[in-house]
Chain A
Amino acid sequence: MTTAEPATTVSIASGPLVGPILRRVVGMLAARADLPLDRLDDAVLVADLIAARAPAHSIDDKINVALDPGDRSLLLRVGPLRQGGGQALIVDAAVPGVGNVIEQLADELSIRPEGDTEYLHVLLAYTNGR
């Protein structure tokens, strides 16, 4: 029988520290997950977008992200967010002329309800074509 390791989580009060800290944590874990440089860069860009947009949709004044590095993949679990916050966060991440950046960069994107809240799951992975 194996016991699972505790999750890696980061909780940052909304404000100027969210971006710098989330970017570093995501960058380090993406590197450890052996993502190639372009996907590591994508992961950091997604982290920056989450840092910029998630505070408006969080249930409190903190941004909480759980990180699960896998085999050449990194799963970000953002939340708890208020109801509708997951989709709103995705929509807010749209950049004029570019489109929705998180949707374009994520290999999998899903919103998981949990009680009165919800979580945004963003999977970044390395596949042969990307």
Chain B
Amino acid sequence: MGSDTSPHAFRGSARESSNGARAHRVPRITTSSDVRLTLPARPENVAVIRHVLGAFAEAMHLPAGMVEDMRLAVTEACTNVVRHAYHDGVPGPIDVVVRPKGDELELIVSDHGHGMGPSPDATGPGLGLPLIAALAEKLEIQQCPSRGSRLSMTFRSRARGPA
């Protein structure tokens, strides 16, 4: 199809070495359920997504440090969608899936827009993806200009071994 749909994976967390201690009090994620939220890709809906993630974390008794990492990463991913995915004035959907997988939590942010890439109005240094890669245990990116992009972020809740 000529489009780059191969996943790009990043592993490791910048905070891994600095906050390993907090991982020891992280409960095992036991719920096998998942949550899917679809909203118009508008700035105000990023707050809704953050709020839902907060409710999820509260119900699952996730530790504050992990929740903050997740919320920051999801905010960056969703902001990317709002800013870059749809150019024709009408926001398309932003799709967020929260999926517990054993000791891990997978967060998927996807859109049906133009995929990722430089935007004419982009003036920032482009720290979003590196930040997400630093916060998440694993980051997988799939993008296709005709079908949008998909970011899969994995956050680990179990105790980590010594660095």
A residues contacting B by CB (< 8 A) are 2-3, 5-17, 20-21, 23-25, 28-29, 32
Q: Which of B32, B38, B47, B55 contacts A21 (CB 8 A)?
A: B55
A12 & B35 in contact (Cβ 8 Å cutoff) = yes
Q: A16-B31, A17-B31, A25-B52 are in contact. Are A5 and B58 (CB under 8 A)?
A: no
Q: Which of B35, B40, B60 contacts A10 (CB 8 A)?
A: B35
Interface centre among A5, A7, A16 (most CB of B within 10 A): A5
B35 & A14 in contact (Cβ 8 Å cutoff) = no
Count of chain B residues near A, Cβ 8 A: 26
Interface positions of B from 11 to 60, Cβ below 8 Å from A? 31-40, 44-45, 47-48, 51-52, 54-56, 58-60
Chain A nearest Cβ from B45, distance in angstroms: 8
Complex: A5 Cα to B93 Cα, angstroms? 8
B33 & A21 in contact (Cβ 8 Å cutoff) = no
Q: For the complex, is B92 an interface residue (Cβ under 8 Å from A)?
A: yes
B33 & A24 in contact (Cβ 8 Å cutoff) = no
A28 & B34 in contact (Cβ 8 Å cutoff) = no
A6 & B35 in contact (Cβ 8 Å cutoff) = no
Chain A nearest Cβ from B59, distance in angstroms: 4
A21 & B35 in contact (Cβ 8 Å cutoff) = yes
B31 & A15 in contact (Cβ 8 Å cutoff) = yes
Complex: A28 Cα to B32 Cα, angstroms? 26
A21 & B59 in contact (Cβ 8 Å cutoff) = yes
Chain A nearest Cβ from B79, distance in angstroms: 18
B33 & A12 in contact (Cβ 8 Å cutoff) = yes
A13 & B38 in contact (Cβ 8 Å cutoff) = no
Chain A residues lying within 8 Å of B47, measured Cβ to Cβ, are 28
Chain B residues lying within 8 Å of A2, measured Cβ to Cβ, are 90
Complex: A23 Cα to B56 Cα, angstroms? 11
Complex: A5 Cα to B92 Cα, angstroms? 7
Chain B residues lying within 8 Å of A3, measured Cβ to Cβ, are 90
Chain A residues lying within 8 Å of B59, measured Cβ to Cβ, are 16-17, 20-21
Chain B residues lying within 8 Å of A32, measured Cβ to Cβ, are 44
Chain B nearest Cβ from A102, distance in angstroms: 22
Q: For the complex, is B91 an interface residue (Cβ under 8 Å from A)?
A: yes
Q: A28-B48, A28-B51 are in contact. Are A17 and B33 (CB under 8 A)?
A: yes
Chain B nearest Cβ from A6, distance in angstroms: 4
Chain A residue at smallest Cβ distance from B37: A10
Complex: A77 Cα to B35 Cα, angstroms? 17
